[in-house]
Amino acid sequence: MKIGILGTGNIGKTLVQRLSAAGHDVKVANSRGPDSIGADVLSSGGRAVTVEDAVVDVDVVILSIPFSKLPAVAPLLTAVPEQTVVIDTSNYYPFRDDQIEAVEGGQTESLWVAEQLGRPIAKAWNAIGSASFVDKSKPAGDPDRIAIPIAADREEDRRVTLALVEDTGLDAFDAGSLADSWRQQPGAPVYCTDLTRAEMGAALTAAERDRLPKRRDLAVAVITERMGDGTSNPDADYLPRLNRAIYM
């Protein structure tokens, strides 16, 4: 497939590498321009382009940028055909994104994103830590392969997203509609806890919506105390252990 990725952070970088290695035609862009994208990001065949070029003539657009920056992307997507699959990987963290009134009031994050972009989206790769994404991929069929939830409203968005997740070394689990995607937001039992496919369904069902923000903020506080700030990324062993203790 032809894929355009916006963002070269911890998740975006790995997406470029994995999807290129899987045989997809991948273009990638960031806000600093193509010259700022390192050779390691492009090591599997991805191509660095401008943000405008990244969304032209593609089957899929993946947005791997901070949650609060997503509204600024909306103008880029106005000329993208309706059938193009748009996948969002972001999560809302008020300490980083500033408080967004609608989300603080209970609007599901994915629905807020779709509203800001003015088009349907799918949600994927938001519920895995960047270190686990890099270090813990396994071949299809491995019983210990990590599963992540995906959510979408359109069937084609769902089909494509499920397939692409599998191409990145993870088991894709259909978590339902965007309205239900609060079950994969920070603070939920499936969020960065490195569950297998067999464990995923029960964990999604166990989510308690009213408790998610408190649990999310507690995890941030623990990471901040341990690492000195809330933006550092714990390693692939520590973060799942911490989140399992708090979220499950």
| Sheet containing 2-6: order of strands | 47-48, 25-29, 2-6, 60-63, 85-88, 122-123, 147-152, 171-174
Three-state SS for 217-246 is HHHHHHHHHHHCCCCCCCCCCHHHHHHHHH
- Residues 23, 70, 217, 191, Cα dihedral to 10°: -30
pLDDT band at 232 (very low <50, low <70, confident <90, very high): low
Q: What is the pLDDT of residues 72-130, one digit of tens each?
A: 999 999 999 999 999 999 999 999 999 999 999 999 999 999 999 999 999 999 999 99
**Span 66-186: which CATH code?**
3.40.50.720
User: Phi/psi class of residue 27: alpha, beta or left (left: φ > 0; alpha: ψ in -120 to 50)?
Assistant: beta
0.85 exceeded by pTM: yes
Q: What is the pLDDT of residues 162-209, one digit of tens each?
A: 999 999 999 999 999 999 999 999 999 999 999 999 999 999 999 999
Distance (Å, whole) CA 178 – CA 103? 14
